[in-house]
Amino acid sequence: MRPETEALLTAISDEFNILTTARSPNELRSSRLNEAFAAFQGKVNKTRDEGVLITAPLETAMTFARHFAVMRSVCDELNTIRSAMEGLPRFGQPLPDAKPHWDFLPTIDWFWVKVGVKGGLAAVIAILLLKWINPPGPAAIPPMAWMLTIFGRPFLRVGETGDLRAFQNASLKALALVGCMRLLILTTPFLASYAVMNLVLFLILFIFGFLTARSPGINSWMLVGFLTISVFVGLNPQVPVASQTIIDTFLGLVIGIGIGTVVSRLIWPVLPQRVLQDNLLTLFAQIKALLSGDPHREKIQAQLAILPVEALQAARQIRIVGCGEEERAKLVSLVRALQTLITQISQLLSRRDRLPEITEQILKPQFERLEIEFKQMLDAFAECFCQGDCRFQLPTVRGALTEMDDAIQKIRDRNMLVDLTFEAPLRVLDLVERYHATADALDECGRLLCTLQIQRYWGDYGL
């Protein structure tokens, strides 16, 4: 089969080149993909008719069936992409019919509910402080406390560290504001000139924009910069400005930073290890929902594509004693293995309903038992991250896999599929191989999980 296989791989490579070359949709040139696959499939049928697969070991037959299924899947996907590109709307023609939205009620995102509660609490504390002790810089305290609480740290998913080391960062911000205050006290007389004021403001905004242009989102330092610039403009140095006014204004900013930091860090803090934990627990629950036949499969698969990316970002942002470079590398490896698991389960579910009717009585109970044990392994993974400890024995699915292989051998010994088309035994063997691949992916995740030392850094550490 080597010539047919090499010809098919060449046709697949040519098809990729055709589809990735820039041209109009109606100018896609034809390819030999379907002809090469037809020749490949004909050789497979001839091999089966000659009895080669019947005499081969079961493991070899399963591997061959999966190889054939992968080739067919790649060809089908490439044909689907070609059809989609050829069917793109042309200029002046109506758009295709819109796909209906998912028919389900949206759930409440409790993360943003907590953010709203914290922002309101910070504003209330700031106003109560104003009424109680009348601190300096009252106009700057509530907006700084509120903005820092609301917008200061929800951007961990795009590379920030959340509320980790919030008090250290707040101290650095306060020192930076003290330096700005001293500089402004010294330079205020020169800013009385309207031209100098505009030039300095331009330079400040240019430097601010240059330093933040590559930022993936608005972080706490940018918020402090926004309010500091607005305070600088609001001082109106064209008229004499008392040094005490400058001092009071910047002290108000520092007090606002303190209130926002305390509320953000002590009440529902956003920490990398917590975000990683929430993402992984959601990921395990969604995989179980897929195995259980949840009707919103497309929505779950969309979430499963996003959750590992967020988990990778969170794993790389853990900066706590006990979680060094080696431990972060293990977390990244675990998330990568979970991505492989998601792919294997998606492929498994797409083939689960293609079992020939004659084999259902023997194989379906074996598949159901395997899926139950898959869920038990996922529950054990979730328990590890809930408890913050991976130092206990995880379940295994090897016993169920052995029974499934025995059932396949029984079907083969009885020649139950001999009267069916060649597609039937290939579908059975491919499905069995998918269960093996899923079990191997789960075992790999379990192996990586047992190497973690999350009990050393999984709590609320790193002030």
- Choose the final residue of a domain: 233, 249, 266: 266
Q: Do residues 218 and 258 share a domain?
A: yes
Give this prediction's pTM: 0.76
pLDDT-wise least confident of 147-151, 193-197, 427-431: 427-431
Amino acid at 29: R
Alpha-helical segments (H) within 188-324: 194-212, 220-234, 243-266, 272-291, 297-316
pLDDT, greater one: 4 or 457: 4
Check whether 256 has a pLDDT greater than 80.
yes
The domain of 11 spans 2-86
Angle between helices 58-86 and 423-450 (to 10 degrees): 100
- Evaluate whether residue 48 is within a structural domain: yes
| HSE-up of residue 59 (Cα within 13 Å, Cβ side) | 4
pLDDT attached to residue 287? 92
102 vs 314, residue with greater confidence? 314
Residue 66: Cβ within 10 Å count:
20
**φ and ψ of 105, to 5 deg:** -80, 135
pLDDT of residue 294: 80
| Residue 347 vs residue 216, higher pLDDT | 347
Tell whether 91 is covered by a domain: no
Are 247 and 284 in the same domain? no
> For the residues 427-445, what does the mean pLDDT come to?
86
Q: Summarize the confidence of residues 80-97 as an average pLDDT.
A: 69
DSSP 389: -
Listed range (100-104, 203-207, 430-434) with the worst mean pLDDT = 100-104
Q: What is the pLDDT of residue 375?
A: 92
Domain total of the chain: 3
pLDDT digits (tens, 9 = 90+) for 273-291: 888 898 999 999 999 998 8
Chain mean position to CA 23? 33
Q: What's at 177, amino acid-wise?
A: L
- The conformation of residue 267, written as its DSSP 8-state character, comes to S
Both 322 and 252 in one domain: the answer is no
In a domain, 94, yes or no: no
Share of the chain above pLDDT 70, in %: 89
Q: Residue 99 domain-assigned?
A: no
The answer for residues whose C-beta is within 8 angstroms of residue 330's C-beta and 6 or more apart is 448, 451, 452
pLDDT at 48 over 70: yes
Instruction: Indicate if 291 and 422 belong to the same structural domain.
Output: yes
Q: Which of 238, 266, 294 is the last residue of a domain?
A: 266
Other beta carbons within 10 Å of 406:
11
Q: Do 139 and 256 lie in a common domain?
A: yes
CA of residue 132 relative to chain centroid, distance? 46
What pLDDT shows up at residue 299?
83
Predicted confidence (pLDDT) at residue 206 exceeds the cutoff of 90: yes
Residue 462 located in a structural domain: no
Q: Distance (Å, rounded) from C-alpha 184 to C-alpha 250?
A: 10
Same-domain status, 260 and 321: no
Do both 81 and 159 map to the same domain? no
Same domain, 347 and 447: yes
Tens digits of residue pLDDT in 106-158: 778 888 898 899 999 999 999 999 888 888 888 888 988 898 888 766 555 55
The one-letter amino acid at 110: W
156 vs 7, residue with greater confidence: 7
101 part of a folded domain: no
For 210, other C-beta atoms within 10 Å of its C-beta total 9
Does any domain span residue 34? yes
CATH code of the domain in which 289 resides: 1.20.58
Place of tokens 């706490």: 220
Mean pLDDT of the chain, nearest integer: 83
> Are residues 324 and 233 located together in one domain of the fold?
no
Ranges 21-30, 312-321, 334-343, 407-416, most confident? 334-343
Q: Is residue 461 in a domain? A: no
- Per-residue confidence (pLDDT) for residue 336, from 0 to 100: 94
Q: Both 144 and 208 in a single domain? A: yes
- 224 and 300 inside one domain: no
Mean pLDDT lowest for which of 136-140, 245-249, 374-378, 413-417?
A: 413-417
**Domain's final residue, options 70, 86, 102:** 86
Cα 4 from chain centre: 39
Note whether 197 and 53 are same-domain residues: no
